[in-house]
Structure 1
Amino acid sequence: MSQEHAVASRTGRRELNTTLGVRRVTHGADVMCLSGILDTEGADLLGHELTAHLRTAGPHRRVILDLTGLRLVSAAGIHVLDSHTRHLSDTPILVIVSTPHVREIFTLSPAPGLRVCPTLDAALAELPPAAPRHPVDMADGPGDRADDVIGPRAKARISAVIGMAQGIVFERYGLTGLRAACDLLRETSRLHNVPLRILASAVVTAPRPAAGSPEWFPGRLRTPPPSPELLDIPEQGAYDLRKLLRTLVLQVVTAADADGAEVHLVDHALGNSLVLEAHSGLDAAYRDRVAQVSDPPAVCARARLLGRPVSVTDVTTDPCLVAAGEGRGVPAVGGRALYAVPALAEDGTCVGAITVHHARPGSWLTHGRLTALRTLADDLARWNSWYRRTVVLDALEHLHTQG
């Protein structure tokens, strides 16, 4: 893992408590993402890694602490953060905090070596102008897209999930170290053509295999890929995430007579957020905005929340988008009208969303085009359910066998 590493606590009582992933997002800053519970053991881990990282980073690199993945912060954690950063009052560590009770802790007892920021973008804005802000590639394993659409913040969060999966594999199978866990995950990713971030998410969210069982999912029945109503892809293509999504987004643009399109899928390891998986006709700035979406006003999130399609005939006059700044960002990529349709599983759960863009404001989708989009969303939902319970579980079984 060039330019990134992950550390997991190891105890005799539980498999994983605190996970710390480190990612270089610019030439002048590293993001340390913490997930889980920062208790006494986690605080010791953080103190050790923070000291080591500050020692090796040098005076020209800033450290950003992303605490948005923490569910609980203990007094020991706050003490370690304070004691290890007091000497940095001139160049404080930037801390991203979103949980209200955690933010309140830092507000009531401000530490001189820490400066709280609401988002990663706000933290990066604190860097000196001389520091370039070009994110490194998220080369998270064989099977991933060459035109990766993940933005800097999403990259850091995904890096933390991969680090968490490495910690789980390392602990569960008693491997020699995190490098061995990384190698096992990457080899499994390559053999089954499952992107590493998808595999890591499955490792983190899947139920623990029974102790001593040679199979992770005993008695599981494998089924053939579903027959799509409109999505045109051969059976073997259904096993290839990249190929299917590339085919889907092209069909979406054609069926909707759209100037751009985006496809999101839900990732449970990233707080059930929508992650951008494929796109057409969208520039890097806009992709950065929608790389990971949790809540409205993003149109895909609104469609997911409501469980039905959402239409915006002019983004520059939509109150929610204008208030959030999205009304300025979308037209910059050539889109004035948006239409998002959720991909709903059989039980009504939203597993993703398809969004199309049109350069001119107003309604442009005919009844036939609307029907085609909804059919493609249904095809996506059926395929996603099959892929997760077949291809991804095959990869997990291989991982378990080798581990």
Structure 2
Amino acid sequence: MTNRSPLTMRPAADGVAVVCLSGVLDAGSCPQLARELGEHLDRAARQGRRLVLDMADVRLISSAAVTTLLRATAHLAHAPVLVAAAPGPVGSALRRPPTAGIRVYGTLADALAALAPAGPPDRSTPADGRERPAAGSDGLRGEVYGMRAKARSSAQIGIAQGILLARYDLPAASMAFALLKEGSQRYNVPLRVLASAVIAAPPPQSAAHWFPGRSTHAPAFRTEFLGAHRVHAADRRRVLAAAVDEALALSAADAAELHVTDPAQDDALLLEQHRGLDAAYRDFAALLTGPPAVCARAQRSREPVTVLDVAEDAGLSAHPAGPVLLAAGSRTVRSVPLITADGGCTGVLSLHRREPDSRLPGVRARALVALAGEVAAWRSWYRRSVVLDALDYLHQHRPAGRP
């Protein structure tokens, strides 16, 4: 379940309402699931909208929750609820029993396409030979992708608020949020990044300082690619964007992406910067927790990983990652981990080519590894200086607690 409600509804102009579910739907969540799903179904019926359940972010669903879902929709055989659930445990659980009131699809795009009104066929063939989704569903998919991204950030920010609320005995959650926002703005640290640091960092070690004994004025980090792009090391967004641009220049790839690890989520990979990748792929790659995604393989092995043909890779073809990559026009993927001096992996830099079997010459491959090492060193510096300074600021400027 999410921190608040497991269901978030988004109406669409074309007669569709998308309800996003996330987290774990266990037996304990069934009463809330039944109540809120019933409310959304009633509201959609009153508004004349078809309901789509986006369950891409549901990690686990119990048999009791499946039964609850089927009972709530059993009367809708004439106009079933469309469910987007990727292949895997959740999708299998929903497909196994009789499903008179729901129709299960592998992706949100497939579910929305099933509701797209029939029109005159488009006889034109795109230049790359790939099918294009119906235009009417593009805006809705974009809105849903944005909802997912906001939900991921909001969950961490809410947890950090709760930690500060309890730690400093604050009288209102709004005070914890205001403190986070103030620290974020003062040090130009994204709110989500600061919230992650609050969750992952050990508790403050003294009343005066979160980290006593450390310098709050660490020297600015310097490296070749930052100098070439004229980017200040403390500007996190521009540093990561410069790294992606530099990787594209080194490799002449068609697209690139940069993931960083999140210590508050067991070092899951978060997509931070990208170039040339479509919205559906970015939504899929926003949060990755392990293989067969190519970048997750590189993170696990601590070595560069190259897939010369996505269409022929056994691991990708049996997983949603494969079709999403192919739909994005990616046939060759090369992922290089960001390895720190102590051997840790703090992220992955990935390149995409439209042609299969696109090999990177040795000189360029070595230059890419060197760039990844520079980005890893920068991120280590950023976390030890800018982020810790922001945490110290929170501790030193905390509001007075309850009397």
TM over 0.5: same fold?
A: yes
Secondary structure of 1:348's counterpart equals coil
After superposition, what is the alpha-carbon deviation per residue over 1:29-55, rounded to whole angstroms, capped at 9, x for unaligned?
A: 323233256453x44443444344445
Aligned to 1:228: 223
Distance 1:187 1:112 in 2: 51
Distance 1:176 1:7 in 2: 24
Please point out which of 368, 376, 394 is paired with 2:363. 368
Aligned to 2:137: 133
Percent sequence identity over aligned pairs: 36
Distance 1:220 1:29 in 2: 54
1:24 equivalent in alignment to 2:10: yes
Aligned to 1:350: 345
Matches within 5 A, 1:204-353: 205-206=199-200, 209=203, 217-219=210-212, 221=214, 222=216, 223-228=218-223, 230-232=225-227, 237-267=232-262, 272-282=267-277, 287=282, 290-296=285-291, 298-313=293-308, 324-325=322-323, 328-329=326-327, 332=329, 337-353=332-348
Please point out which of 80, 90, 94 is paired with 2:78. 90
Aligned to 1:35: 23
- Going from structure 1 to structure 2, the CA distance change for 1:350 and 1:98 (only over 3 Å counts) comes to farther
Q: Is the 8 A contact 1:337 1:362 kept in 2?
A: yes
Structure 1-normalised TM-score? 0.69
Deviation at 1:341, TM superposition (A): 1.3
After superposition, what is the alpha-carbon deviation per residue over 1:327-383, rounded to whole angstroms, capped at 9, x for unaligned?
A: 7446x4xx6654321112345343222223456666664433222211111112222
Distance 1:292 1:20 in 2: 19
After superposition, what is the alpha-carbon deviation per residue over 1:185-235, rounded to whole angstroms, capped at 9, x for unaligned?
A: 5555444433344345445x526857x986894437354454436543799
Distance 1:284 1:103 in 2: 22
Q: Is the 8 A contact 1:230 1:372 kept in 2?
A: no
Aligned residue pairs, count: 369
After superposition, what is the alpha-carbon deviation per residue over 1:111-140, rounded to whole angstroms, capped at 9, x for unaligned?
A: 654444444334334434389323479xxx
Secondary structure of 2:189's counterpart equals coil
Distance 2:2 2:345 in 1: 33
Distance 1:215 1:116 in 2: 55
Structure 2-normalised TM-score? 0.69
Aligned to 2:377: 382
> Of the two structures, which has the highest relative contact order with CA contacts closer than 8 Å and spacing of 6 or more?
1
Distance 1:295 1:387 in 2: 25
Q: Is the 8 A contact 2:231 2:238 kept in 1?
A: no
Aligned to 1:168: 159
Q: Mean alpha-carbon deviation: is it higher for 245-254 or for 286-295?
A: 286-295
Distance 2:310 2:237 in 1: 30
Q: Which runs of 5+ in 2 are unaligned?
A: 119-133
Deviation at 1:244, TM superposition (A): 0.4
Secondary structure of 1:232's counterpart equals helix
Q: Which runs of 5+ in 1 are unaligned?
A: 1-5, 10-18, 138-150
- Going from structure 1 to structure 2, the CA distance change for 1:93 and 1:72 (only over 3 Å counts) comes to same
- Going from structure 1 to structure 2, the CA distance change for 1:171 and 1:247 (only over 3 Å counts) comes to closer
Q: Give me the CA root mean square deviation.
A: 4.6
Deviation at 1:241, TM superposition (A): 1.9
Distance 1:23 1:336 in 2: 35
